[in-house]
Amino acid sequence: MSERTDLNPGPGEAAAAMEPAPVVDSAKEAPATRTRRSPALVTGCVLLGLIVATALVSLFWVPYAPEDTTGGRLTAPGLPHLLGTDKLGRDLLTQLMTGARIALEAGLGAIAIGAVLGICFGLAAGFATRWLDDTLSTLLDVLIAFPTLLLAMLMVAARSASLSSAILAIGLAMTAVVARLTRILVKRVLAQDYITAARTSGTSWPRVITGHVLPNIWPTLVVNLAQQFGLAVMAEASLSFLGLGAPPPNASWGRMLQEAQATVFTAPTGVIAPGVLLVMLVVGVNLIADGLRDTLDPTRRRTR
């Protein structure tokens, strides 16, 4: 007689089967894992990566010299000029490639100025006494209200139109924005109980800054600086459109738009190409900022 098989699980097996599977807390996942799950961050990196690759290639190779005007005026896209030429006979692809480098230089330069000065001012205001905090806050409000365009015009009047003048004007305008955000974040951290406990235990202020304040404010600052980078690129394009940016023969997407507006119906490539790249860069940076916000602070991740 064959041996009977017992299909009923024992008490221990039943308890093991009923035990719920472990739940992974998304807030405790490694940042690298959350990064791979962020479509916005990946898409933004791809868009920005294409612009960065174009700028890097332009350092070593461009189809024609930027000042070469032997291609004929307003030629249609094709060979030998893939995107055609502008009203002066310059190759549009060459202008776009060198313009990518100028856009990135402007964004990085302005962000560097705004981050260094803004964080220093914000930390000073956050740790300052009441009257000094009020004074610095008033100064920041004045700087924020001061138009970037007017500041750029003053820079141009003092130093002549150049890319460095535009970068300096944009960077100074962003200093106030970064400083105000830093001050708010510092005040919020200093109000926490663990800061009081650290000070009571004899921890020095430099240790408090490096060990508690900066680690708690840097995720928000990184996201904000990523957003400010896109604004800096747009600001440089706007200043170049008005003739306050990089002078010829330096190529700038903003100046390309200004020069091509008169021929927008007869040669639309001169407007479409720099406009698409400008939108592509700004959208890519904004997607990166959105992805970084979800990656660095998963508790604020939006329900999609």
Tens digit of pLDDT for each residue in 226-258?
Answer: 999 999 999 999 988 988 888 877 889 999 999
Residue 20 in any domain: the answer is: no
What pLDDT is recorded for position 60?
A: 92
- Residues spanned by the domain of 150: 38-56+87-298
Name every residue whose Cβ is closer than 8 Å to that of residue 45 and which is 6 or more positions away in sequence.
Answer: 284, 288
Q: Is the pLDDT of residue 7 over 60?
A: no
Q: Is the pLDDT of residue 49 over 70?
A: yes
**Number of structural domains the chain divides into:** 1
Section 70-83 average pLDDT: 82
Q: Which pLDDT tens digit goes with each residue over 152-175?
A: 778 777 777 788 888 998 998 899
Residue 164 in any domain: the answer is: yes
Which position has the higher pLDDT, 178 or 146? 178
Report d(CA 287, CA 22) in Å as an integer.
Answer: 32
Residue 111 in any domain: the answer is: yes
Residue 136 in any domain: the answer is: yes
Q: Which pLDDT tens digit goes with each residue over 259-299?
A: 888 888 888 898 999 999 999 999 999 999 988 888 876 55
The amino acid present at 184, given as its one-letter code, is I
Residue 138 in any domain: the answer is: yes
What pLDDT is recorded for position 25?
A: 45
37: left (phi over 0), alpha (psi -120 to 50) or beta: alpha
Looking at the whole model, is its pTM more than 0.85? no
Residue 97 in any domain: the answer is: yes
Here the CATH number for the domain that contains residue 188 is 1.10.3720.10
Residue 7 in any domain: the answer is: no
Residue 77 in any domain: the answer is: no
Of 151, 143, 150, 146, the C-alpha closest to 168 is 151
Section 57-74 average pLDDT: 85
Q: Which residue has the tokens 């060459």?
A: 94
User: Token digits for 126?
Assistant: 């956050």
